[in-house]
Structures are given as structure tokens and as C-alpha cells.
Amino acid sequence: MYESLNTDFVSNPRQLDRLRRDLIYFGKNDRLNLIDDRDYRDRALDECLSEIARPSGSRRRLSMVDRILRAILTDRTLKVEAVITNDPAAFWDVCRKACKEMIRI
């Protein structure tokens, strides 16, 4: 939900209300599991800041959010079945490697 809840999205009351209702529905049906992402955030921040030390041609242009999501997708202790994204280029490799479905919006 990191990138989904951007300024454009939350500026549309109908969209935001639909998401709220969907989250309630999924929560009531035990289909929603929010995880503590603190460890992923710390690691992603370190990765982002360390990119400056790499030669410019080999830097990964991944946002911190992309790095957090990639770490979550590869964590075998979590049951993540798919990622919904509008940026498949940031996740195709990790989804393939971790056998996760990728849904493009």
C-alpha cells in the first residue's frame, strides 16, 4: 500500500472509501495481514544510501519503497503470494526467483 496511498489516490474520496471498505472486508475474512516492516525499512535505507558508492553505470535505480517490497517478497518466513504493481520492471526478477505472482495495474 506504500505507493498506492499517494497524494493523487488520497485526494479522491471515492477511491479512498473503496479501499477502506476493501480493507475492512479482507480483514473480517482473515485475508489481510499487515506486517511490521521496520527491519525491511532499515535495510532499504542502508541500500539506498550505499548506492552512491557504486559506479554510476551499475547503480540500481530502485526507490526505498521498491527495496522494501522486494525484501518482503523474498522473505521466506512470510506468506506473500503476489505483488500488485504499476512498475513491473522493479519486481519481475524477484517475483520470478521467489515464484511470486505479479499483477500489473
Amino acid 52: pLDDT: 86
Question: Residue 32 and residue 46: Cα distance in Å, rounded?
Answer: 29
- Per domain, the residue ranges of the chain are 35-104
SS3 103: strand
Amino acid 94: pLDDT: 95
How far are the Cα atoms of 24, 32, 45, 58 from residue 87, in angstroms, in the given order?
Answer: 26, 22, 20, 20
pTM: 0.76
Per-residue model confidence as pLDDT tens for the chain (105 residues): 766 787 888 899 999 999 899 999 999 998 888 889 999 999 999 999 998 888 888 888 888 999 999 999 999 999 888 888 888 999 999 999 999 999 887
Residue pair 82/31 in contact (Cβ under 8 Å)? The answer is no
- Strands annotated E in the chain: 82-85, 101-104
